Amino acid sequence: MSLLSIRDLSISFDTPRGMLEAVRHADLEVPAGASVGIVGESGSGKTVLSRAAMGLLHGSNVRSTGTVVFDGKELTAMTRVEVRKNFGTGMAMIFQDPMTALNPVRRIGSQISEGMIVQLGMDKKKAMARSEELLSLVRIPDPGATLRKFPYQLSGGMRQRVMIAIAIACSPKLLFADEPTTALDVTVQAQILQLLGDLRRDLGMAMVLVTHDLGVVAGNTDIVAVMYAGEIVERAPTRELFASMRMPYTEALLKSIPKIDMPSGKRLQVIEGRLPDPTDRPVGCGFAARCMYVQPKCIAEHPPLIHDGDDHLYRCWFPLEKK
């Protein structure tokens, strides 16, 4: 059984411009210990989906249908207090911007130990000692001194390591990483991704990696879900997906990435146009207006999610040929 299973989840926001459908009929399973990537452009709904899966979306303007089951318990039926008990020990999250996610006026040590004191009932001294261990686990040099520092005294990469230390402090079963390396340099990105991979293996933790970069998911996930205009448009085991993309959007996304091994001065392939307006979704396929292979049927009818065996799902009337 999966650790996290999202079934037919739809999330809308009631806005002055009308209902904004951020996520539509999403299905996703995260097996225990696995790493699942969610890939998409800005506005594709990937962050809303991951926040909903954590039970972080509340408010009078949020409309959601469908279920999220985590570790045998239905998250969507829980109260906010019950969901909160789950944080740290069940799920934890690291965010994109390590500069603003940390509290600027509290020392690193107190921020890391907070979760252990609240969720695990540890005493302060023990939590602080454990915090020091965690800092060395995330490979921060001189963890003892870092405990007494404030976030502004650390670089972006170091702050993201602190965020990871906070997230893993109560040994969660599932870690959500929402664009964990987007704000960082390539060299630091490589270090952080390697660290997350090592921690995941050592602690037996599952991970959901949300990113816009197919390059980041390629080496760091077991399963990839590609989102477009609020829907999961393709989902497959990572190797299978990269070996044989069926959805024209995924292929176009891959082709638009500048690759280090391509000849220099070559023109990049682009996806013309933009995502459709989320308050006014097209009737047919969301990608039809930008798709190279568009047919009349794509504009008239919404494509269902099709299984092609090999755990590969896609949402396209005229998929690319299987390789």
Partner 1 sequence: MAGSGTAHMRDSEDVILAVKDLVVEFRISHKHTVQAVSGISFDIVKGETLAIVGESGCGKTTLGKAILQLPPPNSGEVIFDGTDLTKLSREKLRAARTSMQMVFQDPISSLDPRMTVSQLIDEPLSIWDRGNSAERAEHINKLLNDVGLDPDIVLNRRAYEFSGGQCQRISIARSLALEPRMLICDEPVSALDVSIQAQILNLLQDMKDRYGLTLVFISHNLAVVKAVSNRIMVMYLGKVCEVGTPDAIYANPAHHYTAALIDSVPIPDPTRSVPTALLQGEPPSPVNPPSGCRFRTRCPAASERCVVEEPQLREVAPGQFVACHHPRS
Helix (H, G, I), strand (E, B) or coil at 30: strand
169 vs 209, which CB is nearer to partner 1? 209
Structure tokens at 162: 């602190």
The residues binding partner 1 (CB under 8 A) are 41-42, 141, 155-158, 185-191, 193-194, 197, 212-216, 218-219, 238-239, 242, 252-254, 256-272, 274
Beta carbon of residue 185, minimum distance to partner 1 (angstroms, whole number): 5
Residue closer to partner 1, measured from CB, 90 or 143: 143
Question: DSSP character for 77?
Answer: G
Token pair, residue 282, equals 């097209």
Six-digit token string for 67: 């279920």
Q: What is the smallest separation between the CB atom of 27 and partner 1, expressed in angstroms? A: 23
Shortest gap between Cβ of 136 and partner 1 (angstroms)?
14
Non-local CB neighbours of 94 within 8 Å, separated by 6+ positions? 101, 160, 163, 164, 167, 175, 176, 177, 178, 180
CA separation, residue 34 to residues 29, 142, 152, 212, 239 (Å): 10, 32, 34, 20, 14
Min dist. Cβ of residue 59 to partner 1 (A): 23
Distance (Å, whole) CA 294 – CA 117? 56
Distance in Å, CB of 87 to partner 1, minimum: 29
CB of 189 to partner 1, least distance (A): 7
Name the minimum Å distance from CB 224 to partner 1: 9
Distance from C-alpha of 6 to C-alpha of 231, rounded to nearest angstrom: 13
**With respect to partner 1, which residue has the nearer C-beta, 6 or 102?**
102
Tokens for 314?
Answer: 């896609």
Q: Which residues of 118-128 are buried (b: 16+ CB within 10 A; e: fewer)?
A: ebeebeeeebb
Q: Which is nearer to partner 1, 105 or 186 (CB)?
A: 186
C-alpha span between 283 and 298 (Å, rounded): 9
